[in-house]
Amino acid sequence: MYSVLLRACLVTLVIFSPITCTVPTEQTPCDLEVEDISLVVSSALGQGRSRSSRSKRDVDDIDVHEIVHLHNQVRAGVSPSASNMKYMSWNAGLAEKAQEYAEQCKGGHNPDLSFIGPGYTTVGENIYITTADQLNWFDAIGNWADEVGDYDIYNDTCKEQKVCGHYTQVVWADSYQLGCGVTKCASVAGMNDAILVICNYGPRGNFIGRRPYVLGERCSECRQGDNCSMGGLCSNPFRDSCSCVSVHPVLLMVCAAMGLLLWA
């Protein structure tokens, strides 16, 4: 009886849920194997793509590929290795939310981190501010990743008076979507003429009492139907390309619930 009801509920979700998914058909720069990562990182040191423009909307398609690839490099290369690290993909809705908040030039974290995505209703957030003339994504994401030196994953602790939350969000295994915004601010967080970067992550990470990922052999705890990409990331062509698109609040919640049932 219960199995029949469950199947009926799932059919209803599939028919009415506003989840939009596309299956990637071409290999992207994000498909590099883990052996290639060291080459990419070493060649990128000090040579990351800088943005000469500092307009309010400055995240283009090339930026998107770079942002996603750099995040996945860090995620695939964590040490000790992760058994359940999901591949991270771009979500345009998260990027729009990040851009809208960035343009307010407030500097602090957004008090409203609600967002309806497939399998989640709240997001995590990382902030980077620089007074450099040009924005370098390698520097921005590397700044967050460098916090690994202050983080003890075995005890899930950060060194005293240090910050580790940016790193743990970047490598939070269950966060599989991100979107970033960037803007120029006349003044933000006590700095003048600065570039402000906001990245949102879904589902959110940094839950107290939880490690960012499960320690173990890479990809050994991927969900059924997942592939192992970049030598250490659990990828799924449907999960990696899905978003909730309905403007109806009820259908959006159905979308979030369906995503949670299928792959969160």
Query: In the predicted model, is pLDDT for residue 54 greater than 50?
Result: no
Range of the domain at 103: 49-262
Q: CATH number for the domain including 238?
A: 3.40.33.10
The domain total for the chain is 1
Any domain includes 31? no
Any domain includes 17? no
Between residues 195 and 256, which one has the greater pLDDT? 195
Query: In the predicted model, is pLDDT for residue 2 greater than 90?
Result: no
Query: In the predicted model, is pLDDT for residue 219 greater than 90?
Result: yes
Any domain includes 2? no
Query: In the predicted model, is pLDDT for residue 108 greater than 80?
Result: yes
Segment 56-62 shows an average pLDDT of 76
Any domain includes 174? yes
Any domain includes 87? yes
Least confident of 50-59, 204-213, 242-251: 50-59
* Residue where the block lists tokens 């990351």: 48
Any domain includes 182? yes
Segment 17-23 shows an average pLDDT of 59
Any domain includes 53? yes
Closest Cα partner for 29 from 74, 62, 78?
62
The pLDDT value given to residue 254: 73
The pLDDT value given to residue 18: 61
Q: Which of the four pLDDT bands, split at 50, 70 and 90, describes residue 253? A: confident
| 72-90 per-position pLDDT tens digit | 999 999 999 999 999 999 9
Any domain includes 9? no
The pLDDT value given to residue 58: 67
